[in-house]
Amino acid sequence: MNEEYKLAKKKRQALDSLLDTGKISASTHNMFNREIDDALAEIENQRKALLEKMASKMTELEDQIKTLEILLAKFEIQHVTDEIDEEIYQRETDLLSMGLETIRQELDAVQEATNQLSTSDTMAQQEVEPQPQENLLPPPEVKFLDEPEQAVEKEASEPSEEPVVEEIECKTEAQQPEPENEKEEKQAA
């Protein structure tokens, strides 16, 4: 599945490159991009189904371990209370111990595979959906000057980064200035 994902990703990069260089149109790009999206969705569905099967298998193995541990405990108790002879105890506990070891190894392998599958999914989603960056500007640089006068001179010489607010006067039609010839007529009257 991981190889299929990588292949789909390479196809998408090639497709984007073709669009960027102008070798294909946006509609052709979109058509192929939908096919790649469909393939990625199928990979995701397969991954989810596999994770569900693996979770079921882990539950089954954990139940088997519990059963074998209960049997082992019963044999230990029967041995301590002399309810079974040494030969039967030795044979049964050896078989149970080997069974437990085998099942634990299988459980570890399934858990590791599940973790890898989950981790590769997390990385795949991070590649597909980049996380927004909160602040793209670097933090301000703070410098301490020896002399207070230097700071005042420096502040005076550098333009302020604070926003400048200017008052703009807006006039409606009723407040529009009168044309020059109307002003002259009013003054003459």
Give the percent of the chain with pLDDT over 70: 62
pLDDT at 125 over 70: no
Q: Which stretches within the chain are classed as H helix?
A: 2-20, 26-80, 86-128, 148-157, 180-188
Q: Region 3-18: what's the mean pLDDT?
A: 90
Question: Per-residue confidence at 168, pLDDT binned at 50, 70, 90?
Answer: very low
Instruction: Give how far Cα 124 sits from Cα of 9, 48, 119, 140, Å.
Output: 10, 14, 9, 34
Q: Which residue did the predictor score with more confidence, 143 or 29?
A: 29
Q: CA-CA distance, 182 to 185, in Å (whole number)?
A: 5
Q: For position 182, what pLDDT does the model report?
A: 53
Q: Whole-angstrom distance between the N-terminal and C-terminal Cα of the chain? A: 94
Average pLDDT over residues 80-105: 94
Its pTM stands at: 0.54
Per-residue model confidence (pLDDT) at position 3: 84
In this structure, what token pair is assigned to residue 185? 């007529």
Tokens matching residue 169? 């006067």
